[in-house]
Amino acid sequence: MTTVSQIAQTLQTILNERANVVARETGFIQRCRQIDGAAFAQAEIFGHWQDPQTTVEGLTQILQRREVTISAPGLSERFTPPSADFMHRMLQEVSQEQLESDAVPIALLRQFSAVYVQDSSIVGLPEQLAEGWRGCGGSAGSSQAALKLFVRWDVLNGQLDGPVIPDGRHSDKRSPLDEEQTRDGSLEMDDLGFWAVARLSQIARRGQARCHRRYFLSRLQPATKLRRRNGAEIVLRGILPLQLGERVELGRLWAVSGCRCAW
């Protein structure tokens, strides 16, 4: 289990030592200036954490606590494409650290080596960022600029993958989280946004051998048909149990959605 003190020590290393290294690697800091990578990152993170609507003047006040004196116009000039690359890299630095919590003591889940729950969230951005972070746009309330955060939580073992950050148009059906990194004998549970026959087929095919089998749990997408291996269609309404606790096992089926099918 990752303790609070371990997390604090890791963040201190990233937001101080690593921040200055990454600032030079991204070209954000090219020579000694009034402000270094560590000061800029900490002002951005803690300033917007305290007040999401904070102004540039508010950020300069936070910098003063680090004995960094810079005017609001001078700080505004630091908000450039390299500074955006720098902050993106800082997020990646933090997310690469493995966080662990206590395992969930549920006997039912212990039948699997891991139990994954995956989800995503969209964060709208100012429309000036649409060139780098495309949003959905086109409908009321949607932004021309957005990013999407994908995470996968292993509730059985307490491990977090992500966040992985594509632009806001990235479909859940094409999750950027690598299925190759999931464990043999694992179970994946996703909502309907992640339903794609090709993706579920990939999970199932990786478990052809019994000792390597992988499982998924999901509601059926409307208009999806299930067939036996001989091609006969299965009508779920006629075979699903009606009593709580009853179970029906049908073995391996074909899932057909549109013109695509897979095991």
Query: Do the domain assignments include residue 250?
Result: yes
Q: Are 256 and 200 in contact (CB under 8 A)?
A: no
Query: Do the domain assignments include residue 125?
Result: no
Give the pLDDT confidence score for residue 25 in this predicted structure.
93
Give percent of the chain above pLDDT 70.
84
Better-scored residue on pLDDT, 170 or 202: 170
Structure confidence at residue 263 as a pLDDT band (50, 70, 90): very low
Query: Do the domain assignments include residue 48?
Result: yes
Query: Do the domain assignments include residue 56?
Result: yes
Give the pLDDT confidence score for residue 56 in this predicted structure.
92
Better-scored residue on pLDDT, 206 or 236: 236
- 262 has pLDDT over 70: no
- 5 has pLDDT over 50: yes
Q: Are 185 and 152 in contact (CB under 8 A)?
A: no
Better-scored residue on pLDDT, 110 or 149: 149
Domain closes at, from 62, 95, 128: 95
Give the pLDDT confidence score for residue 231 in this predicted structure.
79
- 59 has pLDDT over 80: yes
Please state the separation of Cα 111 from the chain's center in Å.
Answer: 26
Domain closes at, from 95, 116, 136: 95
- 259 has pLDDT over 60: no
- 21 has pLDDT over 60: yes
Query: Do the domain assignments include residue 183?
Result: no
Give 3-state DSSP helix, strand, coil % of the chain, rounded to 5.
35, 20, 45
Give the pLDDT confidence score for residue 246 in this predicted structure.
78
Amino acid identity of 48? H
Query: Do the domain assignments include residue 213?
Result: no
Give the pLDDT confidence score for residue 44 in this predicted structure.
92
Give the pLDDT confidence score for residue 7 in this predicted structure.
73
Range of the domain at 81: 4-95
- Mind listing the pLDDT tens digit for each residue in 60-100? 999 988 888 899 999 999 998 899 889 988 888 887 766 66
Query: Do the domain assignments include residue 119?
Result: no
- 250 has pLDDT over 70: no
Give the pLDDT confidence score for residue 141 in this predicted structure.
54
Q: Are 120 and 150 in contact (CB under 8 A)?
A: yes
Give the pLDDT confidence score for residue 211 in this predicted structure.
60
Domain closes at, from 53, 72, 95: 95
CA distance 94 to 72: 28
- Mind listing the pLDDT tens digit for each residue in 150-200? 989 888 887 888 888 888 889 888 888 877 778 888 888 888 888 887 777
- 11 has pLDDT over 60: yes
Give the pLDDT confidence score for residue 260 in this predicted structure.
36
DSSP designation for 229: T
Model-level pTM? 0.69
Element (H, E) at 121: strand 115-124
- What's the structural domain count of the chain? 2
User: For the chain, what's the residue count?
Assistant: 263
CA distance 139 to 133: 17
Give the pLDDT confidence score for residue 206 in this predicted structure.
61
Query: Do the domain assignments include residue 35?
Result: yes
Give the pLDDT confidence score for residue 28 in this predicted structure.
92
Give the pLDDT confidence score for residue 256 in this predicted structure.
46
- 133 has pLDDT over 90: no
Structure confidence at residue 102 as a pLDDT band (50, 70, 90): low
